[in-house]
């Protein structure tokens, strides 16, 4: 029976984790459960877990015959979820799920990138190998012995366009290198293959066996999802990025308007969280000639001013502060949280986190990343620019990586684990860095680029970048509703 059921699932492209298969096979009427999965393509996860099976078996309390007897976890799981839900909904609590702070392993002079890239490769290969198209993928050394139906996962060493308009990608894994040809006119032709990103390839060798002609190039991507289902939370999270305190272009009047609004507006009373995704202060010596544009030319003075500015926000608000490329921590990503001597200047309602950081707030997972890698995405992917950061964010999600390019404009630290891999699918993904305000959605994930509190700088003028400052994107954690409040004047 197992073979028949798995065959049925295979036909419709439904993938199950091993535990999910076990759970399904325990059901006296597994076919009924499969029917329910087949009927639900819009909401179905890419790879179904044991909990998903339990969910289908109990859909809307219409329990499949005998399911409660054979899935004892059903009752327990429901209770546990309710319990966790109740705990998660305690307002005011910010849980840091993952960041580099306190976990950095790169010390001394040993610069060892091999472990970082191996970790990236293995994590993303695991994700890719769950894709139906890549079932049976093999190491490059082994696929080289085949002629057709090659399936493998590799890291991009380099890619270039030939004079005939085809794209050649040089790829590598731990075992060997291989050249891949993406034909002009093929579906993937307009894709940009970035150095150090991980790709899955399906293809066949060309006649002389030198190149793999790609039939498909597959990225890990995030699964389709209908987004944030209502969870009963009544709180709002506001995103306040790139404050740049200390700069002479810091918008104090706009900041004052924000503070006043938070204190009196009926909508604002539900704002329980403010997440600040980097560039808290303007810093010192970040770019040549910066001293001409500083109002406060002392780094500690800048953070002191920030602590005063933050004190003006109502006490009910929990604040999450992340560094960016202007802040007082190492530039190389992942960046740890600000050091203790700076933290001590602030009240206890502020949580200092690293960049990037996964947070959980009232049952919602937020991925916050300052966004320095947009400099690399914008130069590597033709259709991207500084006015559409949400498009670069989609490219990151497709690659399940925040900053794949090593040796570009984003400095990367040789950690043993790759903290820039998007291993968990967030509900909300927020960035800053480019000083514009954008709200978008990709496969159910809310995308936010969170404006700035600085008017156009000479540097931005020179690079033709027009900021969209003093805007605050908001997300209602209960309903998932998103909007922007404008404090620009």
Q: In angstroms, what is the minimal distance from the CB of 433 to Fe ion?
A: 5
Q: Write down the least CB distance from residue 285 to Fe ion, Å.
A: 15
- Return the range that interacts with Fe ion (CB under 5 A); candidates 4-12, 31-39, 197-205, 234-242: 234-242
Binding letters toward Fe ion, positions 40-69, x by CB under 5 A: ------------------------------
- d(CA 340, CA 64) in angstroms, rounded, equals 55
Min CB(325)–Fe ion separation in Å = 7
Q: How many CA atoms lie within 13 A of 170 on its CB side?
A: 8
Which residue from 337, 318, 321, 341 is spatially nearest to 329, judged by alpha carbons? Answer: 337
Q: Which is nearer to Fe ion, 228 or 305 (CB)?
A: 305
Q: Choose which of 242, 375, 418, 438 interacts with Fe ion (CB under 5 A).
A: 242
CB of 446 to Fe ion, least distance (A): 21
Query: Which runs of E-coded beta strand occur in 370-470?
Result: 428-431, 437-442, 445-450
Closest CB to Fe ion among residues 186, 465: 465
Comparing every residue's Cβ against Fe ion, the nearest one is 279
Residue 242 CB, nearest approach to Fe ion (Å): 4
Please report the sign of the dihedral spanned by the C-alpha atoms of residue 106, residue 109, residue 115, residue 116.
Answer: positive
413 vs 244: CA distance, rounded Å: 24
Task: Return the structure tokens found at 116.
Answer: 């970082």
Q: Which stretch binds Fe ion (CB under 5 A): 47-55, 192-200, 211-219, 236-244?
A: 236-244
Nearer to Fe ion, 279 or 362 (CB): 279
> What is the dihedral sign for C-alpha 151, 153, 154, 160?
positive
Told to check if 279 binds Fe ion by CB under 5 A, we report yes
Cβ pair 221, 425 in contact under 8 A: no
| CB-CB contact of 373 with 402 (8 Å) | yes
For residue 418, state whether it binds Fe ion (rule: CB under 5 A).
no
Q: Is residue 427 a contact partner of residue 445, using CB atoms and an 8 Å limit?
A: yes
Nearer to Fe ion, 225 or 325 (CB): 325
Please identify, among the stretches 108-116, 232-240, 277-285, 378-386, the one whose residues bind Fe ion according to the rule CB under 5 A: 277-285
Residue 363: both structure tokens together: 């049952």
CB of 174 to Fe ion, least distance (A): 38
Residue with tokens 């000479």: 458
Region binding Fe ion by CB under 5 A among candidate stretches 5-13, 194-202, 253-261, 276-284: 276-284
Is 282 a binding residue for Fe ion by CB under 5 A? The answer is no
Question: Which among 252, 256, 131 is positioned nearest to 202, based on CA atoms?
Answer: 131
Number of CB atoms found within 10 A of residue 43's CB: 12
**Chain residues in the site for Fe ion (CB under 5 A):** 242, 279
């Amino acid at each position: 029976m197992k073979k028949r059921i798995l065959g049925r699932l295979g036909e419709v492209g439904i993938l199950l984790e091993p535990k999910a298969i076990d759970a399904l096979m325990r059901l006296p009427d597994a076919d009924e459960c499969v029917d329910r999965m087949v009927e639900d393509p819009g909401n179905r996860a890419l790879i179904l877990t044991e909990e998903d099976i339990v969910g289908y078996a109990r859909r809307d309390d219409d329990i499949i015959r005998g399911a409660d007897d054979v899935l004892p976890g059903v009752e327990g799981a429901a209770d546990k979820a309710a319990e966790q839900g109740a705990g998660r909904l305690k307002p005011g609590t910010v849980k840091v799920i993952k960041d580099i702070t306190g976990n950095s392993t790169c010390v001394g002079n040993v610069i060892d990138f091999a472990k970082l890239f191996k970790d990236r490769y293995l994590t993303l290969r695991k994700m890719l190998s769950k894709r139906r198209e890549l079932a049976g993928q093999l190491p490059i050394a082994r696929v080289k012995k085949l002629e057709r139906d090659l399936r493998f996962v590799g890291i991009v060493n380099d890619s270039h366009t030939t004079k005939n308009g085809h794209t050649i990608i040089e790829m590598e894994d731990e075992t060997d290198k291989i050249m891949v040809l993406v034909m002009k006119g093929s579906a993937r032709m307009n894709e940009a293959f970035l150095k150090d990103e991980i790709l899955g390839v399906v293809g066949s060798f060309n006649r002389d066996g030198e190149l793999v002609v790609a039939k498909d190039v597959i990225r890990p991507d995030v699964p389709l999802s209908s987004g944030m289902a209502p969870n009963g939370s009544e709180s709002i999270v506001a995103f306040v990025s790139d404050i740049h305190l200390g700069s002479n272009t810091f918008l104090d009047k706009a900041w004052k308007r924000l503070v006043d609004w938070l204190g009196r507006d009926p909508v604002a009373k539900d704002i329980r969280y403010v997440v600040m995704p980097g560039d808290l202060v303007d810093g010192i010596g970040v770019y040549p000639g910066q001293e001409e544009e500083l109002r406060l030319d002392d780094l500690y003075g800048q953070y002191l001013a920030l602590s005063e500015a933050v004190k003006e926000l109502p006490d009910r608000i929990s604040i999450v502060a992340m560094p960016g490329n202007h802040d007082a921590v190492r530039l190389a990503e992942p960046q740890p949280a600000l050091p203790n001597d700076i933290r001590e200047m602030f009240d206890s309602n502020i949580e200092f986190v690293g960049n990037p950081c996964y947070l959980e707030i009232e049952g919602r997972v937020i991925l916050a990343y300052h966004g320095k890698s947009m400099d690399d995405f914008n130069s590597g992917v033709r259709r991207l620019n500084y006015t559409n950061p949400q498009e670069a964010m989609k490219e990151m999600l497709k690659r399940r990586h925040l900053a794949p390019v090593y040796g570009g404009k984003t400095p990367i630290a040789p950690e043993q684990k790759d903290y820039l891999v998007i291993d968990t699918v967030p509900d909300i993904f927020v960035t800053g860095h480019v000083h514009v305000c954008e709200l978008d959605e990709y496969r159910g994930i809310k995308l936010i680029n969170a404006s700035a509190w600085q008017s156009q700088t000479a540097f931005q003028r020179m690079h033709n970048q027009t900021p969209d400052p003093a805007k605050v994107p908001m997300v209602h954690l209960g309903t998932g509703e998103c909007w922007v409040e404008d404090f620009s004047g």
